[in-house]
Amino acid sequence: MTNSCSSVSTVLEKYFDQEVTDEEKLLVEGHLEDCPACQDVLKSMEELRTLMKVPVAEAVQKEDFPWVWQKIEREIRLQEKQPWWQSLRSWLDVTPLFRRKVWIPAVATAVVLLLFSTQIIFEKTPSYPDGSVVEYVQSQTDNVMVYQLEDPKVTVIWLFESPEEERTTT
Amino acid sequence: MNREETEMVSRCQQGDQEALKEIFEKYHKKVYSIAYGVVRQREEALDVVQEVFIKLFRSIKNFRGRSQFYTYLYRMVMNTAIDHKRKAGKQFMPSLDEEGSIQPSDDAEKGPERVLLQKELEERVKLAMDKLPAEQKAALIFRDVEGLSYQEMAEAMGCSIGTVMSRLHYGRKRMQESLKDYVKLPGQSRGVSTVSGR
C-alpha cells in the first residue's frame, strides 16, 4: 500500500458495495489505476462474496417450493382456534353424512315420521280392544261412565253416587 | 411500498390467507435464500421458511408500515434463522481450527476432485460463518448474498448505517482470516488454489 492508499481506504469498501457518491467514485477509480494493493483488497472482497453467494444461489435454484406453501397452509389451519359453531359448520361441510344430498331427504323423512307418530299418539284410543267407546262425565254430585260395545251393540251406563264413594270403591 | 403491496399486506393483516399466499409467492425465494445463507442446510432452511410465514401471519398486525415491508420480513427471517442455528449449534460441530480436514488440491480443475474441493470449500465457508457474531453474519448475508443497500440493511437490522458499515467491515475481515487458504488476502500470495472462478 502507498501513502495515498490512506486517502481512499475509508471509501474503498463503500466503493465495493456501490454506495459511494460520484465524487468518491472518481477518487477511488483514479487511485486504483496505479495501486495493485488496493486492487487486491477489492479482489479479495469479490472472492469472498462469490464464496458466500454461489452456494446459496445454487440451493435456491434447485429447490421446488409449492409443497412448502401447502405445509404452511395446513399448519395455519391447525393452529387456528375456531369458535365452536364454526368448527361444527366446517365439520358438517366435510362430513359426507351431512352433505345436502343426504341431510335434506333425511330431515324430510323425519318430519313425515313425526307427523304419523303424533297422529297415533293423540288418537282417541278405546279402553277395550274390541272397539268399545268409553265416556266419563264428572259432576259435583255424581259421576257417570258410559261405554258401548260394538259387537254386540250394548250400551252400559255406570253411575257413581258420589266422588267420595268412587274413591273408596276403586 | 407500492399500492399493490400495501393492499396485500393490509388484507393479510385482516387474516386473509390468500394475501399471505401472494406474499409467499413474491418473497419465498428471498426468504429461503437468507435462511439458507445462515443455516447452510436445505431441510433446516425450509423449516425456517415455514416458520417465518406462519409467524408472519400471526404477527403481521404489528407491522405499522414505517419501514419497507420486505425489510420487516427479512429481519424476521434473519432472527428466525439465527435462532434455528443457535438451537442446532448445541449439537456437535467441528471447529475451523481443527486440523486433519481434506486439503485443497492444486489440481482442482479435474472433475471429481473439483467437486470434492467445492464441497470442502462450502463446508469451510459454513464453518467460518458459524464463527461470526450474529450481527456480522446478518450484515454479510444481507449485503453480499442478497445485495441490500446500506439503508435497507439499517432498516432490516434496526441500526444506523454507520453500524452496518462497521459490522460489514469486521465480518469481512474475520471471514478473510478464516478462509485465508481460499481467499487472497491483500498483500499476501496465496499458497493454494481457489475455485472462485467457477
pLDDT given at position A66: 77
The CA-atom distances, in angstroms, between B169 and each of A9, A90, B70 are 12, 55, 24
State how far the Cα of A156 lies from the Cα of B145, in Å rounded to an integer.
Answer: 109
Structure ipTM: 0.77
Instruction: Report the sign of the C-alpha dihedral through residues B66, B68, B70, B75, in that order.
Output: negative
Smallest Cβ distance to B144: which of A43, A49, A55?
A49
Picking from A52, A54, A68, the nearest residue to B50 by CB comes out as A68
Burial class (CB in 10 A: 0-12, 13-18, 19+), B5: middle
Q: How many CB atoms lie within 10 A of CB A29?
A: 12
Measure in Å the smallest separation between the Cα of A13 and chain B Cα atoms. Answer: 8
Could you report the per-residue pLDDT of A63-113, keeping only the tens digit for each?
888 789 999 999 888 877 666 666 676 666 655 556 666 778 888 899 999
DSSP output for A139-164: -SS-EEEEEEETTTTEEEEEEES-HH
Report field, pTM of the whole predicted structure over 0.80: no
Compute the distance between CA of residue B190 and CA of residue B161 in angstroms, rounded to an integer. Answer: 33
Q: Is A3 helix (H, G, I), strand (E, B) or coil?
A: coil
Euclidean distance between CA atoms A29 and B190, whole angstroms: 25
- Per-residue model confidence as pLDDT tens digits over B5-22: 899 999 999 999 999 999
Cell of A54: 454461489
